[in-house]
Copies of this chain bind each other. A is one copy, B any other.
Amino acid sequence: MSDPQSSPGREATGAAPGERPDSPLPHTAFVNEWRSGQTLLVLRELLDLAEQVGPSIARRAEVGHTELRALELLVRSPHGPVELARELGVTSAASSGIVDRLEARGHVRRVAHATDGRRTQVVLTDSAREEVLGYLVPMFAALAQMDATFDDAEKQIVERYLRGAIDAIHRII
């Protein structure tokens, strides 16, 4: 997500001896041409920042990055280990380890499923819920406070922009 604007390591039309002077490096050429607007730059700054949130909280909470993502899922509702694995994009073997580590730290409990003897429900403990939310709530509160300074007409414009950004990102995901 970093800014590909300008590439000091290479001239736009630079050519090594023996190469054709305008050798086709289409993406490089495209990016060198490109001057994006202020709003787009701010959006990209936000997207870059968003990538740092997870790892940063995980460090402070002293859990792995994937473990934090598991905790975030578990804040919403209990999941089985395999279900977690699917949502996290890891193997069920990895998920077993994730639940082991979270259980060892007292963040979750394994509870047998009521009707299906194969299943286990991984349930967040109250203390873990409080801790996870304790990390997230300040951000959500600050976002809500910021959001409240916009009237409905403005929010509608912003929402259209944000949905546009989501669609754009979905093109490469």
Contacts and interface: CB of A to CB of B under 8 A. Distances in A.
Contact of A155 (B27, B37, B133, B169): B37
Interface residues of A, number: 87
Given A51-B51, A139-B171, A40 B147 contact: yes
A51 B54 contact: yes
Interface string A142-167: 11111101100011011101111111
A132 B76 CA distance: 36
Contact of A39 (B135, B155, B165): B155
A172 B36 contact: no
Interface of A: 1-10, 25-28, 30-31, 34, 36-40, 42-47, 49-57, 69, 72-78, 89, 123-124, 126, 129-130, 132-147, 149-150, 154-155, 157-159, 161-173
